[in-house]
């Protein structure tokens, strides 16, 4: 998707042909020497002399540029850039550097209350591990790694080795996946 910004030097309405509604209604938009086709039966939000910004593509069939439209809303991707009100647009934002009276409001203005220090549950880990979903995930994790270790001949399949490996994998799961 390409983009161009410029002043419309010519705008031609091709929605009506010989007094009849056109089968393929469109506008021809000229920006400098470039011609873009806007395929729409609706009115355009711009006129000759407007400064516009538009996204365009190039037709694979004809090789000519056309104004692209939004996939969902079918609106053309063209916008009129508003003219300034006579004052030059400044790129700098004036900043008040006097911070001597600044005091942080600690979330007072946005309604956020921080209770993280007062509502900590020391039994969180035990509660989380008794959740059936977490237990199932932990079981799948341990089974997959244990099976891979046995098939890859990294682990001798004896009862003692498998028990030790399961305890080690449970610990790894707790440290890495329980928040």
Q: If pLDDT is split at 50, 70 and 90, which confidence band does 8 have?
A: very high
DSSP conformational letter for 69: B
* 110, pLDDT greater than 70: no
Q: In sequence order, which residues have a C-beta less than 8 Å from that of residue 18 and are 6 or more positions away? A: none
* Range 143-147 average pLDDT: 90
* pLDDT number for residue 89: 52
Q: Which domains does the chain have, with CATH numbers?
A: 2-80 (2.40.50), 124-177 (no CATH)
Predicted confidence (pLDDT) per residue in 59-99, tens digit:
889 899 999 988 888 888 898 888 765 555 555 555 656 66
* 49, pLDDT greater than 70: yes
């Amino acid at each position: 998707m390409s983009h161009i910004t410029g002043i419309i030097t010519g705008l031609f309405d091709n929605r009506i042909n010989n007094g009849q509604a056109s089968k393929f209604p469109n506008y021809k938009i000229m920006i400098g020497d470039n011609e873009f086709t806007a395929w729409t039966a609706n009115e355009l939000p711009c006129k000759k002399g407007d400064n516009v910004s538009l996204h365009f593509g190039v037709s694979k069939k004809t090789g000519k540029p056309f104004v692209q439209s939004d996939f969902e809303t079918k609106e053309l991707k063209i916008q009129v850039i508003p003219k300034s009100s006579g004052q030059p647009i400044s790129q700098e934002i004036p900043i008040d550097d006097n911070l001597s009276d600044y005091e942080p409001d600690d979330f007072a203005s946005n309604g956020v209350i921080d209770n993280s220090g007062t509502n900590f549950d020391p039994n969180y880990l035990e509660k989380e591990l008794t959740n059936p979903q977490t237990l199932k995930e932990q079981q799948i994790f341990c089974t997959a790694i244990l099976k891979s270790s046995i098939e890859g001949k990294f682990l001798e399949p004896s009862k003692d080795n498998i028990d030790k490996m399961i305890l080690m994998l449970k610990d790894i799961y707790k440290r890495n996946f329980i928040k």
